[in-house]
């Protein structure tokens, strides 16, 4: 009995644990290209942008249907509870003049059924309006493209930052391991009187400061990972591993090719969106002008009516009609004229925006090319500096171990090395960012 109870209690305790283990998201290993693909598939912002395209398409089809044949049917059944009574002169039936006879016309029941069909033959405003709606659908697609570009830029920047942070952590841990080794040697030398106690204290303080820096870097890295999970649209608890290295990403871009590539401003998404907006403004002007044109439609109707004093309706009487309807605007107190003037102003504003954005893109191009040149030179310089700093710190450590350098020299050389590593990683991040931004501007992605 006790064994049975223990089995039940164990099952109760272990069941939630196993359930949580099953619900834990699976780890994800992502290259930078895979991360971009996941973000494009899961982004809530992009999902709404895609829905905007569907809405624009439905709006176009809705207005298109207004110009297609329209058919409607109707049926009615009336019970005349009290037929209308009318007075007619009695002399019509041989009665005395001046007197009237009450009579009732109609039957107790009457029923009608029929169909009505119409077809738009000419409507200039509708035709031009459909062209405008097609441009609005195109504008929605371009808006989605711009949102995708912005998302890519955001994901790539965060991916770079995480790799830089992890590289910083590796450098700090390696440096800490090296200092701990020197600290152990110094403690042993201090015990035999070959080093001062203050030397041990100074190295211990340096190790402690490195540990604090590592913890701060780890925290910032985790925050960046959380942001990346949000950008990817995945579970916040999903373990992530970034498999693209800095070296691999560095080789993805060629600074020389980017700097030599021509900038075709007509290919940039901002310019293309403004060009579409200009076309929309021109179509709106055509719509307002088309309001002065007549509209022509044709129609056909067929119906049958039955009348009787009971619901048998032995006799039905058909009627049908076909015709054309022409609507011609004559006078509207200048409303259409003012709408045309407003549409013309909209075109001028769209063209002004195109000129302004074109100038801004040219300025941005020059700035990004300059940023890339500066970042490239800085990277080369910092790469050389770090090699020098590594040699200095190795030589200083050897001299310290041989008693030819003070602990101050050792700590100073180590700090200079860490500063050089930090400057180098900043130069890498600036170079990657400059390459990415110019690559996106040139519409290579």
pLDDT at 184: 92
Query: Whole-angstrom Cα distance, residue 253 to residue 331?
Result: 65
Q: Domains in the chain and their CATH numbers?
A: 28-67+124-293+333-441 (1.20.1600.10)
Report pLDDT for 19.
43
DSSP letters for 187-228: HHHHHTTSS-HHHHHHHHHHHHHHHHHHHHHHHHHHHHHHHH
Asked if 196 and 186 touch (Cβ cutoff 8 Å), the reply is no
Environment class of 70 (CB within 10 Å of its CB; exposed 0-12, middle 13-18, buried 19+): middle
Whether the Cβ atoms of residue 416 and residue 393 lie closer than 8 Å to each other: yes
* Closest CA relative to residue 427, chosen from 178, 167, 206, 173: 167
- What are the beta bridge partners of residue 302? 115, 320
Residue with tokens 């039940």: 8
Contacts 24+ apart (CB under 8 A), 223-227: 224/158, 224/161, 224/162, 224/165, 225/162, 227/158
Query: What's the token pair of residue 91?
Result: 């002399």
Secondary structure (DSSP) of 106-147: S-SEEEEEEEEEEEEEE-HHHHHHHHHHHHHHHHHHHHHHHH
For position 23, what pLDDT does the model report?
A: 62
- Among 379, 387, 422, 424, CA closest to 255: 379
Q: How far apart are CA 331 and CA 427, in angstroms?
A: 70
Query: In the structure encoding, which two tokens stand for residue 208, read together?
Result: 């402690």
DSSP 326-358: EE-----TTHHHHHHHHHHHHHHHHHHHHHHHH
Contact 413, 361 (CB under 8 A): no
Do residues 162 and 244 make contact, with C-beta atoms less than 8 angstroms apart?
no
CA-to-CA distance for 321 and 329, rounded, in angstroms?
26
Relative orientation angle of helices 32-42 and 197-232, to the nearest 10 degrees = 40
Task: Identify the three-state secondary structure at position 235.
Answer: coil
Q: What is the pLDDT of residue 24?
A: 67
What pLDDT tens digit does each residue of the chain (445 aa) get?
444 445 444 444 444 444 444 566 788 999 999 999 999 999 988 999 999 999 999 999 999 998 899 999 999 999 888 888 888 888 877 778 888 888 888 888 899 999 999 999 999 889 899 999 999 999 999 999 999 999 999 999 999 999 999 999 999 999 999 999 999 988 888 888 788 888 899 999 999 999 999 999 999 999 999 999 999 999 999 999 999 999 889 888 778 889 999 999 999 999 999 999 999 999 999 999 998 999 999 999 999 999 888 888 888 899 999 999 999 888 878 888 999 999 999 999 999 999 999 999 999 999 999 999 999 999 999 999 999 999 999 999 899 888 888 989 999 999 999 999 999 999 999 999 999 999 999 988 6
Angle at 268 between CA 35 and CA 161, to 5 degrees: 30
pLDDT of residue 255: 85
Q: What is the DSSP letter of 267?
A: G
Between 407-441 and 335-401, two packed helices, what is the crossing angle to 10 degrees? 150
Q: What are residue 103's phi and psi, to 5 degrees? A: -135, 155
Closest by Cα among 115, 152, 138, 112 to 299: 115
Q: For residue 334, what pLDDT is reported?
A: 85
Q: How many residues does the chain have?
A: 445
Task: Return the DSSP state at 236.
Answer: T
| H helix intervals, 67-123 | none
pLDDT of residue 358: 95
Question: What residues have CB less than 8 Å from 330, skipping those under 6 apart?
Answer: none
């Amino acid at each position: 009995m006790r064994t049975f109870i223990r089995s039940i209690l164990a099952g109760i305790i272990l069941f939630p644990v196993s359930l949580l283990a099953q619900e834990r998201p699976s780890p994800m290993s992502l290259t930078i290209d895979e991360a971009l693909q996941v973000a494009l598939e899961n982004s809530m912002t992009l999902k709404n942008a895609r829905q905007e395209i569907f809405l624009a398409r439905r709006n176009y089809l809705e207005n298109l249907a207004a110009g297609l044949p329209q058919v409607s049917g109707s049926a009615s059944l009336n019970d005349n509870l009290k037929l209308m009574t009318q007075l007619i002169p009695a002399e019509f039936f041989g009665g005395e003049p001046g007197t009237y006879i009450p009579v009732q016309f109609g039957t107790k029941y009457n029923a009608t059924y029929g169909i009505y069909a119409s077809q738009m033959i000419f409507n200039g405003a509708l035709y031009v309006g459909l062209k405008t709606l097609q441009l609005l659908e195109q504008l929605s697609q371009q808006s989605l493209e711009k949102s995708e570009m912005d998302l890519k830029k955001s994901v790539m920047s965060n991916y770079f930052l995480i790799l830089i942070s992890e590289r910083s952590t590796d450098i700090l841990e390696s440096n800490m391991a090296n200092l701990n080794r020197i600290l152990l040697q110094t403690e042993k030398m201090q015990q035999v009187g070959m080093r001062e106690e203050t030397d041990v204290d100074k190295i211990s303080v340096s190790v402690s400061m490195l540990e604090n820096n590592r913890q701060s870097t780890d925290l910032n890295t985790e925050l960046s990972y959380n942001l990346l999970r949000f950008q990817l649209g995945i579970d916040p608890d999903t373990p992530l591993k970034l498999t693209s290295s800095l070296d691999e990403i560095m080789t993805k871009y060629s600074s020389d090719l980017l700097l030599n590539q021509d900038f075709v401003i007509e290919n940039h998404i901002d310019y293309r969106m403004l060009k579409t907006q200009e076309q929309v403004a021109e179509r709106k002007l055509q719509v307002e002008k088309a309001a002065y044109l007549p509209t022509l439609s044709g129609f056909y109707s067929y119906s049958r009516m039955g009348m009787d004093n009971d619901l048998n309706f032995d006799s039905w009487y058909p009627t049908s009609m076909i015709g054309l309807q022409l609507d011609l605007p004559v006078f509207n107190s200048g409303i259409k004229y003012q709408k045309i003037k407003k549409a013309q102003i909209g075109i001028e504003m769209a063209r002004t925006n195109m000129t302004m954005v074109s100038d801004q893109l040219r300025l941005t191009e020059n700035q990004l090319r300059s940023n890339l040149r500066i970042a490239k030179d800085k990277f080369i310089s910092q790469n050389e500096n770090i090699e020098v700093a590594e040699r200095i710190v190795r030589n200083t450590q050897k001299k310290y171990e041989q008693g030819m350098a003070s602990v101050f020299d050792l700590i100073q050389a180590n700090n200079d090395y860490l500063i050089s590593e930090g400057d180098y990683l900043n130069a890498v991040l600036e170079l990657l960012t400059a390459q990415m931004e110019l690559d996106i501007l040139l519409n290579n992605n």
